[in-house]
Amino acid sequence: MYDIIIVGGGTAGLSAAIYGVRAGRKVLILEAKSYGGQIINSPEVENYPGIRKISGMEFAKGLYEQATGLGAEFRQGQVVRVEEQENCRVVVASETGKSGSDKEEQRYETKTVILATGARNRPLGLVREQELTGAGVSYCATCDGMFFRGRQVAVAGGGSTALEDAAFLSNYCEKVYLIHRRDQFRGEERLVENLRQKKNVEFVLNTVVTGLLGETVLEGVRIQDVVTKEEKELAVSGLFVAVGQMPDNKDFAGLVALDEKGYIQAAEDCRTDTPGIFVAGDCRTKDVRQLATAAADGAVAALAACEYIG
Ligand code: NAP
C-alpha cells in the first residue's frame, strides 16, 4: 500500500514526490514515457528562481535524481483509471511500449493520488497534419531541428515556445518563417527582440497556416493573411507547430470534475472534488502555467495528501 501515487513524472509530479518522501511517506510515480515532462524540450530555462540558466533536460534530470535519491519509486506505466475502494484507491496502469492484448495491467493500492498529467501539444488541426508528423511536421524544435540543417522552415505560433523555437532553428536553418495569427506576440518581448536581430528570421504576421503541401514529405505550407484574405504558398521542408498545449485528462473524467476545457478543477489548494485525489501542475485549472507554478503545485498537493492521510 502506497501513501501517495503520483500520475505523471514532470515538474509537478517530481516536486510532489520530493515533498511526499521528505514527509516520510511511501511514494510511487507512474509515468507513461520518461521523466521530465514538457520542460525537457526547452533548450534553456532562465526563469526558474535561483537557477540563472539551465537546459530543460538537465533541470528534469536534477529533479528526478533528487526525488528518487530521497526514496521515491519511479515506474513506467500508462495510468488508465483509478478505482475507488472502501479504504483505499487502486491505480491501474498498462505497460507502455506494448500494444493491444500484449499489454498487461498493473494494479497499485494507495491511500491518495496526485494527478500531475501535464498537458500535450495542441495540433493546428490541418488536413494531413497527423500523417505528415515526422515527415516535416514537428512539435519539438529541439528534438527535430537538426534534421532541417541548411533548409527553410516555418514555425507556427506566437507564444514564448514559438519564439524560442524560431531562435533555436535560426542557428541551423537557412531561413525561418515565424507565422503568427496576430500582429502582437503573446510571448516574452525579450525573445521577440532577440529574433528581430536575426537576419534569417522573417515574421509573417496576421497569418494562419491553412494547408500542408507535399505527398509523402512536407514540401511547403499554404498560408492566408487574415486581414486581406490573400493566400500564398511558402516552400519549407519543416513546419514546427508551437500553438500551446491542451490537457489530456479524459481517463479521469469520471473520477474528478473537469472544466469546460478539460483541465482538472481545483483551486490553489490542489484539492479536487473527490476526497483523497489531488491535482498538480499544468493539468489543473489555473491562470499561470510556468515551471515555478508546477513545482509549487507539487509541494501544495503533496502536503495536502499528507494531511489527508493524517
Ligand atoms: P501559449 O503561450 O499558450 O501560446 C500559444 C500561441 O499559439 C499563442 O500565440 C496563440 O495565439 C497561438 N495559437 C493558439 N492556437 C492557435 C491556432 N489554432 N492557430 C494559430 N495559432 C494559435 O503557449 P506556449 O508558447 O507553448 O507557452 C506555454 C506556457 O509556457 C506560457 O505560459 C509561456 O509563458 C511558458 N513558456 C515560457 C518560456 C520561457 O519563459 N522561456 C518558454 C516557453 C514557454 P494568440 O496569441 O493569438 O492567442
- The residues lining ligand 1, judged by C-beta closer than 6 Å to any ligand atom, are 47, 124, 156-162, 164, 181-182, 186-188, 208, 242-245, 289-290
| Region of residue 214 (left: phi > 0; alpha: psi -120 to 50; beta: else) | left
**Residues forming the active site:** 140, 143-144
> From ligand 1's centre to the CA of 273, what distance in Å?
29
Average pLDDT, the chain: 95
> From ligand 1's centre to the CA of 160, what distance in Å?
6
3-state SS assignment for residue 239: strand
Read off the pLDDT of residues 97-123 as tens digits, 9 standing for 90 and up: 665 566 789 999 999 999 999 999 999
Helices 189-196 and 160-170, axial angle in degrees (round to 10) = 30
Read off the pLDDT of residues 216-242 as tens digits, 9 standing for 90 and up: 999 999 999 999 999 999 999 999 999
Q: What is the pTM of this model?
A: 0.83
Contacts of 222 (CB under 8 A, 6+ apart): 209, 210, 211, 212, 213, 231, 232, 233
Count of C-beta atoms within a 10 Å radius of residue 175: 18
Residue nearest (by alpha carbon) to ligand 1 atom 22: 243
pLDDT, position 231: 98
Read off the pLDDT of residues 138-170 as tens digits, 9 standing for 90 and up: 999 988 999 999 999 999 999 999 999 999 999
Alpha helices in the chain (DSSP H): 11-22, 56-69, 141-144, 160-170, 189-196, 291-309
Q: Rounded to 5 degrees, what are φ and ψ at 267?
A: -85, -165
- Which ligand 1 atom is at minimum distance from the Cα of 180? 21
8 A C-beta contact, residue 196 and residue 208? no
**Residue 11: which of 36, 42, 47 has the closest Cα?**
36
Residue of 47, 121, 186 to mutate, ligand 1, most atoms within 8 A of C-beta: 186
